[in-house]
Amino acid sequence: MTVRKEKKSRKYRGYRTHGWGTKGQHRDRGAQGSRQIGMHKEKWSWLVKYGEGWYGKHGFVNPTSKVYNVITMRKLQELIEKGEIKIKDENGKKVVDLTEYRYDKLIGSSGLKIPLVIKVNMASKKAIEKVKELGGQIILTTSE
């Protein structure tokens, strides 16, 4: 390939398209960017079909918020019936340790059918009352 001694734009002054054919050729943006270039113009049909959520706000996750793994009393009963959560016998009492199954909190007002001793980090007031009514007990492993 030879090196030009003069600029092409200088050579083609007065020739409207500078050797790029009909008007408008070699004037577009081409493949300059990624997300932002042309998405609201020439790539709009692609955006409508595949780009859901492309524009607009997408939320913020507060770094100081705490996320707890919560289980309801009804879900606990279902998991016990399926055999996914095992009941242990300790000193003649049926014990379920929810911290072993990575649950942080027990909530709910009904759904449990058998008296259990439940070990969990946190529990709602209603859950504690209902377990006591059944003849069970909730042992809170941490206080928060």
Give me the DSSP letters along 67-129. ---EEEHHHHHHHHHHTSS--EEETTEEEEETTTTT--EEE-SS---S--EEEESEE-HHHHH
**Mean pLDDT over the full length of the chain:** 86
Q: How confident is the model at residue 68 (pLDDT cuts 50, 70, 90)?
A: very high
Q: Within a 13 Å sphere around the CA of 15, how many CA atoms are in the beta-carbon half? A: 10
Instruction: Give the separation between CA 32 and CA 123, rounded to whole angstroms.
Output: 56
Comparing 39-43, 53-57, 69-73, which segment has the lowest mean pLDDT?
Answer: 39-43
Span 40-66, average pLDDT: 87
Domains of the chain: 70-140 (3.100.10.10)
Which residue type sits at 29?
A: R
Instruction: Give yes or no for residue 67 having a pLDDT over 60.
Output: yes
Mean pLDDT, to the nearest integer, of 88-96? Answer: 92
